[in-house]
Amino acid sequence: MRDAVTSLIKNYDVTGRYFDRNAIDSLKSYFESGTARVQAAAAINSNASAIVKQAGSKLFEEQPELIRPSGNAYTTRRYAACLRDMDYYLRYATYALVAGNTNVLDERVLQGLRETYNSLGVPIGPTVRGVQIMKDLVKAQVAGAGIANTAFVDEPFDHITRELSERDI
């Protein structure tokens, strides 16, 4: 897993260059947002189960067909699996948030996930919607923790939804 700093160093090392103004500005921005990132992770950590539960409730309220007979979250086992997956997305989004880099999402969550879901018949659309709901809940939690600028929270959640969303070939 790489963070914003190691990724930047790797890119400059591969090309054999010293840091330029863009690199220095990128590092400065990452370090200036470090405290907010850690505070956001703490807010998520202390409310993770509530965030997942609220996101699941809202998702099933918006898309009740998922929990009806023959729906993908029908039966206790499938419902629990859905919430388990949402918890995974939240946990790894938190790692990416602290790292300031979405690399961990690609390595540990997203590689092959779309294909796995398709082979199991898991609908991608509701998964994407669930991640978007969690993003909104997390932003509210982070703002409630006193962090004024919550824009950095978007990146990991948006990366997950972008990678899972339907794409034209």
User: Domains in the chain, ordered, with CATH?
Assistant: 1-32 (no CATH), 34-164 (1.10.490.20)
Mean pLDDT of 49-64: 98
Radius of gyration of the chain (CA): 18
Selected residue with higher pLDDT from 144 and 168: 144
pLDDT, position 110: 92
Q: What's the pLDDT band for 167 if we cut at 50, 70, 90?
A: low
From CA 93, how far away is CA 105, in angstroms rounded? 7
Whether 169 has a pLDDT exceeding 60, the answer reads no
As a whole-number percent, the residues of the chain with pLDDT over 70 amount to 98
Mean pLDDT of 133-151: 96
Selected residue with higher pLDDT from 123 and 1: 123
Question: Which residues are within 8 A (CB) of 54 and not within 5 positions of it... i.e. 6 or more apart?
Answer: 133, 137
Whether 168 has a pLDDT exceeding 70, the answer reads no
Whether 36 has a pLDDT exceeding 80, the answer reads yes
Least confident of 30-44, 51-65, 76-90, 102-116: 102-116
The DSSP 8-state label assigned to residue 64 in this structure reads G
Amino acid at 110: L
Whether 76 has a pLDDT exceeding 50, the answer reads yes
Contacts 24+ apart (CB under 8 A), 121-127: 121/72, 122/72, 123/66, 123/72, 124/164, 124/165, 124/166, 126/59, 126/63, 126/66, 126/72, 127/85, 127/164
